[in-house]
Amino acid sequence: MLNFSLGSAFPGKSVEDAMGLASGIQEVPVLGEIGLDHVQICPQNYKGGVMGLARLQALQTAYPNTQFRFHANVRILEKGCQYDLGTADQFPEYTEKLVESLDYLGQPYSLHAAENGRPLASQIKVAKQLSAQAGVPVAIEGLYPGHRNNTLATWADWERLLEMEASYALDFSHMNIILSQSGGPVPVKLMEDLLASPNCLEIHFSGNNGERDSHQVCQDDEWWLDFLPLIRDETVCFYEGRTR
């Protein structure tokens, strides 16, 4: 079952408003049926104030059949911060609040790879430390080539990650940018190995033009559609296309 990533699908909406909108949608273009079994709370859901424990508890009461999980730098402090696997050690107050929330939710958490060139092995160590503190898996989400010093942003980076036995989240939109920037071809064996691994905890779906992560609706000629039958039942899939 495909699930909603609230921040990408409904940017600028509060989690509560986004859940209300998502409840009225049963399918999305190309990918079909979508539901609320699992839902990602994202940094784009900044309206409504800090996402504290009381608010999480109210959401869980309102939607008892939904398993909520955090993605990236959700607004859990009054002041936002650029929290990723390259900066996590700079924000101990954020980490403290994050661990508290993750422990309550009891669901995996996905966090972006570093934008500051921090070595991949170091990032994985941070992810595993955070996982140990919170008691839930922490998945590193790969990025793509860009103006920042992005890591986990090439096919070679993904090949190295596979050897490191770390939890990860695949973003097909990000991978489309990697493919576009590399000039192809599609690394079929790498994609098969990434999808087959039990370390693949999440997959994120949206479309773009190969240049920027614009979270567009998916088209019927997306190259990664051929790989959908390989997705493991245990991997949770999230839709990040802009939904109106």
Range(s) of the domain holding residue 191: 2-239
> Is 120 inside any structural domain?
yes
> Is 195 inside any structural domain?
yes
Mean pLDDT for all residues in the chain? 97
- How much is the pLDDT for 147? 76
- How much is the pLDDT for 148? 79
Cα distance between residue 189 and residue 1, in whole Å: 25
At 156, list the tokens: 């070679």
- How much is the pLDDT for 18? 98
Q: How many residues does the chain have?
A: 244
Domain count, the chain: 1
pLDDT above 90 (res 146): no
DSSP character at residue 197: S
> Is 231 inside any structural domain?
yes
Cα distance between residue 110 and residue 69, in whole Å: 9
At 80, list the tokens: 């936002």
- The pLDDT tens digits of the residues spanning 46-55 come to 999 999 999 9
Q: Classify 224 as helix, strand or coil.
A: helix
- The pLDDT tens digits of the residues spanning 179-222 come to 999 998 999 999 999 999 999 999 999 999 999 999 999 999 99
- The pLDDT tens digits of the residues spanning 28-38 come to 999 999 999 99
Instruction: Kindly tell me the number of DSSP H helices and DSSP E strands found in the chain.
Output: 8, 9
Categorize the per-residue pLDDT at 120 as very low, low, confident or very high, splitting at 50, 70 and 90: very high
Contact assessment for residue 134 and residue 99, using Cβ atoms and an 8 Å cutoff: yes
At 188, list the tokens: 């079929």
Strands, E assignment, the chain: 2-5, 27-28, 32-41, 67-70, 109-112, 138-141, 168-171, 200-205, 236-239
- The arithmetic mean of pLDDT across residues 69-94, rounded, is 97
Categorize the per-residue pLDDT at 122 as very low, low, confident or very high, splitting at 50, 70 and 90: very high
> Is 225 inside any structural domain?
yes
- How much is the pLDDT for 70? 98
> Cα-atom radius of gyration of the chain, to the nearest Å?
17
CATH code of 36's domain:
3.20.20.150
For CA atoms 221, 224, 227, 228, the dihedral sign is: negative
- How much is the pLDDT for 208? 96
Of 146 and 94, the one with more pLDDT: 94
> Token pair 């192809």 is at which residue?
184
- How much is the pLDDT for 173? 97
- The arithmetic mean of pLDDT across residues 64-83, rounded, is 96
**What percent of the chain lies above the pLDDT cut of 70?**
100
- The arithmetic mean of pLDDT across residues 67-87, rounded, is 96
| Helix segments in 33-154, DSSP class H | 53-62, 92-105, 120-134
> Is 212 inside any structural domain?
yes
> Is 217 inside any structural domain?
yes
> Is 244 inside any structural domain?
no
C-alpha 204, offset from chain centre: 6
> Is 104 inside any structural domain?
yes
- How much is the pLDDT for 242? 95
- The pLDDT tens digits of the residues spanning 83-102 come to 999 999 999 999 999 999 99
- How much is the pLDDT for 26? 96
